[in-house]
Amino acid sequence: MARRKVAILISGRGSNMAALIEAARATDYPAEIALVLANRPDAQGLDRAREDGIGTAVVNSREHKSREAFDAALDTTLKSAGIELVCLAGFMRVLTADFVNAWRDRLINIHPSLLPLFPGLETHAKAIAAGVKIHGCTVHLVRAEVDSGPIIMQAAVPVLLGDTPDTLAERVLTAEHRIYPLALSMVADDSIRIVDERVVVDDPPQETPAQTVISPLFG
Question: Are residues 216 and 116 located together in one domain of the fold?
Answer: yes
pLDDT value at residue 38: 97
Average pLDDT of the segment spanning 28-44: 96
Question: Are residues 155 and 203 located together in one domain of the fold?
Answer: yes
pLDDT category of residue 118 using cuts at 50, 70 and 90: very high
Q: Does residue 216 surpass a pLDDT of 90?
A: no
* Selected catalytic residue, list 64, 111, 135, 177: 111
What's the predicted TM-score (pTM) here?
0.91
135 catalytically annotated:
no
Q: What is the CATH number of the domain that holds 23?
A: 3.40.50.170
CB atoms within 10 A of CB 182: 19
Alpha-helical (H) ranges within 85-163 are: 97-102, 123-130
Question: Are residues 213 and 114 located together in one domain of the fold?
Answer: yes
Average pLDDT of the segment spanning 12-20: 93
Query: Of the candidates 159, 170, 173, 172, which has an alpha carbon nearest to the alpha carbon of residue 127?
Result: 159
Residue 206's domain comprises 110-219
Q: Does residue 210 surpass a pLDDT of 90?
A: no
Give the whole-angstrom CA distance, residue 158 versus residue 155: 10
Give the whole-angstrom CA distance, residue 28 versus residue 150: 26
pLDDT category of residue 205 using cuts at 50, 70 and 90: low
CA angle 110, 116, 120 (to 5 degrees): 60
Give the whole-angstrom CA distance, residue 97 versus residue 204: 30
Question: Are residues 130 and 213 located together in one domain of the fold?
Answer: yes
Question: Are residues 217 and 116 located together in one domain of the fold?
Answer: yes
Give the distance between the most distant pair of CA atoms in the chain.
Answer: 50
**Which is more confident, 62 or 125?**
125
**What are 192's strand-pairing partners?**
201
